[in-house]
Structure 1
Amino acid sequence: MEDINQINELNQNEIYIVEATKNYVFEQLKDDTSGHDWWHIHRVVSNTIKLARLEKTANMFICVMAALLHDVIDDKLVEDEVEAVEAVKQFMTEQSVATEEQASILSIICHMSFKGGQQAPLSTIEGFVVQDADRLDAIGAIGIARTIYYSGYKGRPIHDPDLKPRENMSLEEYRNGKDTAILHFYEKLFKLKDLMNTESGRQIAEGRHAYLVGYLEQFYAEWDAER
């Protein structure tokens, strides 16, 4: 992540708030073992800054704040999503984040998760940027590592040839149905390239998507003892 003080698009008050938010999020996610840890946030913020600059019209403060906070309310990680959202609201109020800025940030982080493709699309350039930044961390080499890591965290196997990709799942089926690391490629990862919101995100996703395809080709060849 770029040094917060070096993000020229932020004023001094925004830098202070972002630094406080960085510490707040670090304390909540530093011990995560699901692949949604502080280093995931670090990468998403870096992707966000890059995409926001390429897209030019996005509000950098809104983008960085949403990127930092997006997983502290994730239903995969918290017991009570409503309570987690209220805690984020309270934190932002304590940091004197303006009401309209809070609303923009909360709108993004409450609606950006994939959730089996069930979420309604976002509607602001800031939402597009942060969602793309998060999705980029789900594909490519890092995306593969996170998928296998999360599958182990959930007690799921790497591969079961008898299981086929599921379509039109409910959120409950997506979260808790019978799944494997390899099925997740078909049920989520392969879909993300075409779900990118920004042109910049799409261009980066092309290369990472190609890496996914090449990985699975090698995986199946090794599985069948062909290579």
Structure 2
Amino acid sequence: MNNIIDRTIAFVQHTLANAESGHDWWHIQRVWNNTKLILQEEEADVLVCELTALLHDIADSKFHNGDETIGPRVAGEFLTQEGVDPTIVTHVQAIILNMSFKASLGVRTFHSKELEVVQDADRLDAIGAIGIARAFTYGGYKNREIYNPHIPVIENMDKESYKNTTAPTINHFYEKLLLLKDQMNTETAKRIATDRHVFMQQYLDQFYAEWQGVK
């Protein structure tokens, strides 16, 4: 197992060497660490979870013209080249295709305990202090406004609306980040998410106070 994990790490580090910093190797490493943390308390296939955590953003559709098939395809090609059991390859691909927040807004056609674990690990990296940093990093990358009080939050977005949004980054808190705590699958992730959720709420309170010129 260690050999395939080590080779996967090397592949991901090379492939994402110039990635946007919210979706780079360090994001992958944090999600991998979160996955291992969750697996200390949750029962799931460790190899499937770790491989998926390492490969889940190998070709994020956001950076490939919205192509949601490219990530599973690149991951599958790599794992097949490495001689990984085809059932594991298929499972990893299915999780990558179905684990994103965007995917959860559409029709869900796949589920497994391993998906629950890695999805939670990824979502934990989208909230709290790091989640805030990543949100503004991506907003800057897309040249979005930080905040515009004249642009309302859109509640209950569908998949296409979410994919095509150009709203300010603060809106993203309400359209995704603050929703994630209640969408965690595992009891382990639910506990971790609670404090991170509170931190984001406190951050927003401070943000609005400063925006309005309150001491």
- In the superposition, the TM-score normalised over structure 2's length comes to 0.93
How far residue 98 of structure 1 moved from its aligned partner, in angstroms, is: 0.4
Q: Does 1:130 align with 2:123?
A: no
SS in 2 for 1:76: helix
What is the number of equivalent residue pairs in this alignment?
A: 213
Query: Runs in 1 of length 4+ with deviation above 6 angstroms?
Result: none
CA separation of 1:104 and 1:93: change in aligned 2, threshold 3 A: same
CA separation of 1:122 and 1:51: change in aligned 2, threshold 3 A: farther
User: Deviation digits for residues 126-170 of structure 1, max 9, x if unmatched?
Assistant: 111100000000000000000011000011010000111112434
Per the alignment, residue 61 of structure 1 pairs with: 47
How far residue 124 of structure 1 moved from its aligned partner, in angstroms, is: 1.6
Per the alignment, residue 34 of structure 2 pairs with: 47
Distance in 1, Cα, partners of 2:195 & 2:70 = 38
Alpha carbons 1:34, 1:153 under 8 Å: kept: no
Distance in 1, Cα, partners of 2:38 & 2:70 = 31
Alpha carbons 1:116, 1:188 under 8 Å: kept: no
Q: Does 1:85 align with 2:75?
A: no
Per the alignment, residue 76 of structure 1 pairs with: 62
Paired amino acid for 2:15: Q
Alpha carbons 1:116, 1:169 under 8 Å: kept: no
Paired amino acid for 1:24: F
Q: Percent identity?
A: 45
Distance in 1, Cα, partners of 2:6 & 2:157 = 39
How far residue 226 of structure 1 moved from its aligned partner, in angstroms, is: 0.9
How far residue 52 of structure 1 moved from its aligned partner, in angstroms, is: 1.0
How far residue 72 of structure 1 moved from its aligned partner, in angstroms, is: 1.3
Tell which deviates more after alignment, 93-102 or 111-120: 111-120
CA separation of 1:122 and 1:81: change in aligned 2, threshold 3 A: closer
Alpha carbons 1:122, 1:128 under 8 Å: kept: no
The aligned runs of 1:128-207 (5 Å cut-off) are 128-207=116-195
The unaligned stretches of length 5 or more in structure 1 are 1-13
Task: State the Cα RMSD in Å.
Answer: 1.6
- In the superposition, the TM-score normalised over structure 1's length comes to 0.88
Distance in 2, Cα, partners of 1:84 & 1:51 = 24
One of 110, 128, 139 as aligned partner of 2:97: 110
SS in 2 for 1:208: helix
Alpha carbons 1:71, 1:77 under 8 Å: kept: no
How far residue 216 of structure 1 moved from its aligned partner, in angstroms, is: 0.2
One of 16, 21, 24 as aligned partner of 1:37: 24
How far residue 81 of structure 1 moved from its aligned partner, in angstroms, is: 4.0
